[in-house]
Chain A
Amino acid sequence: ETGVTQSPTHLIKTRGQQVTLRCSSQSGHNTVSWYQQALGQGPQFIFQYYREEENGRGNFPPRFSGLQFPNYSSELNVNALELDDSALYLCASSLTGLGETQYFGPGTRLLVL
């Protein structure tokens, strides 16, 4: 069974740029959730995708957007990057979108300069 994978592992961008982060869900899982974790804080929920549709969203602005593909992999896109977007971005997959245990990937460390 393949676990959740994310790419890239690290990324450096400058303010105002756009970034795309990628996630492959665990085999058999059709739901992907994205989280942002600032240094010293717990992960904060960004949004969730279930069968290619956005299924819930946290308190993040519209410049955070996502996609889920037919194979249930997912992308997180962030436009107009700000310095405060520097964080660890985590992807988690679950069997369904209805409260199943979420399995997290290793994350992508984004640094915005």
Chain B
Amino acid sequence: LAKTTQPISMDSYEGQEVNITCSHNNIATNDYITWYQQFPSQGPRFIIQGYKTKVTNEVASLFIPADRKSSTLSLPRVSLSDTAVYYCLVGDSDSGGGADGLTFGKGTHLIIQP
């Protein structure tokens, strides 16, 4: 599975747009990019998944350049409740999982201030 690199922590303010970038230089042709969100003492929650270009849902957008060696999770107009750890995962199935399980790094600790 491709290794991912993302910032350890980020700070922002309520109402701002937050962009978290993940590097995955060794991404394979069949790999998808998936982002999870985790609050303290809770299980991770699926946010968004993409293969190339741009994906948008009601929660976030995911931008993937043509070379797919990085991706950016964009959270529009964040609130205090968006304070959480965000994980970028890359894997060779629809959700980077399957029989090998999901491979999580340490994630990005996003702190939103008033």
Chain A residues with a Cβ under 8 A of chain B? 4, 33, 35, 40-48, 50, 55-56, 58, 88, 90-92, 94, 97-107, 109
Contact = CB atoms under 8 A, between A and B. Distances in A.
Contact of A42 (B41, B42, B49, B104): B104
A43 B97 contact: no
A91 B42 CA distance: 11
Interface of B: 41-46, 49, 87, 91, 93-107
Contacts of B99: 48, 50, 55-56, 97-98
Contact of A88 (B41, B102, B107): B41
A59 B103 CA distance: 12
A48 B44 CA distance: 17
Given A42-B106, A99-B93, A99-B94, A104 B44 contact: yes
B106 A102 contact: no
A106 B43 CA distance: 5
Contacts of A102: 46, 95, 97, 102
Contacts of B93: 98-99
Tell me what chain B mostly uses at the interface: helix, strand, loop, or mixed: loop
A56 B42 contact: no
A95 to B, nearest CB: 10
B45 A104 contact: yes
B44 A97 contact: no
B46 A107 contact: no
A44 B42 contact: no
Nearest to A41: B106
B102 A43 contact: yes
A106 B42 contact: yes
Q: Which of B95, B101, B104 has the most CB of A within 10 A?
A: B101
Contact of A56 (B49, B94, B100): B100
